[in-house]
Amino acid sequence: MVQLTLRRSDLAAALLILVSVGAAALVYPSLPEQFAVHFDATGTPDSFYGKTLGIAIMPVAGLGVYVLFRVLPHIDPRGENIRAFQGPYDAIMLLILGFLAYIQGLLLAYNLGIEYPQNALVLGGVGLLFGGIGVLFTRAEPNWFVGIRTPWTLSDDEVWRRTHRVAAPLFVLAGALIAVGSFLPVPTEFLIGAAVAVAAVIPSAYSFVVYRRLQRERGDDGPPSA
């Protein structure tokens, strides 16, 4: 039977979700019936929902993230490793929930007619999210759900640890690239694509390289033991 223990991070998560709900409820009468939820590269809205559905997207997504993060340690075959870095794991969850609450605030502001540099603030938030996750990656233990999950990191704990030592500063660099680039005349798609390449593709390729190197050092042609 799955038993969930209430932690301070649970209270913080509940607060972030309730803030999103409460802010939306507070301004609900002033919102337009057609609620803008997505914007093109110029910051012009290109997708609308009814306002009830529109204001619910971020809180519902946040609730889904919270439930997912609480269930994963119980279904991961290596769930004890997640519990070994519980603090950073919870911090990653709270970073994501904070980002969703932040986006909720931006959406509400836009739909209330408040003008702001839409793309710059959204991408700035994405950059901070990437950077924060990068800092926390330095303490991630091998597991099946959170981190750089390649066949090579999942096959060897040493590959996992070396890969995350490389991935952590790259995520911070990607976050800085997004945050700074959001204020430059650079196409959004190019900016995000370059950041993803830095944060994901390089560590994934590195995990293969270090896996093969360890195989040669160990004189082992098969998968290294964990």
Domain boundaries, the chain: 7-116, 117-226
Instruction: Note the pLDDT of residue 226.
Output: 43
Q: What is the chain's length? A: 226
Instruction: Note the pLDDT of residue 55.
Output: 96
- Report how far residue 150's alpha carbon sits from residue 144's, in angstroms, rounded to the nearest whole number: 10
Task: Kindly list the distances between the CA atom of residue 77 and the CA atoms of 10, 118, 145, in Å, as whole numbers in the listed order.
Answer: 23, 42, 10
Indicate the SS3 state at residue 38: strand
Amino acid code (one letter) for 174 = A
Instruction: Note the pLDDT of residue 123.
Output: 85
Query: What backbone phi and psi angles, to 5 degrees, belong to 130?
Result: -60, -50
Query: What backbone phi and psi angles, to 5 degrees, belong to 7?
Result: -125, 170
Q: Is 173 left (phi over 0), alpha (psi -120 to 50) or beta?
A: alpha
C-alpha torsion sign, points 23, 28, 30, 31: positive
Residues 6+ apart with CB under 8 A from 151: none
The predicted model scores a pTM of 0.87
C-alpha torsion sign, points 98, 99, 103, 106: positive
Instruction: Note the pLDDT of residue 2.
Output: 45
Give me the average pLDDT of each 10-residue run along the chain (226 residues).
Answer: 68 96 96 91 85 95 97 93 94 97 96 88 89 91 94 95 94 87 71 80 94 88 48
- Report how far residue 130's alpha carbon sits from residue 146's, in angstroms, rounded to the nearest whole number: 14
Instruction: Note the pLDDT of residue 5.
Output: 62
Instruction: Note the pLDDT of residue 97.
Output: 97
Q: How many CB atoms lie within 10 A of CB 127?
A: 22
Indicate the SS3 state at residue 46: strand
Instruction: Note the pLDDT of residue 177.
Output: 84
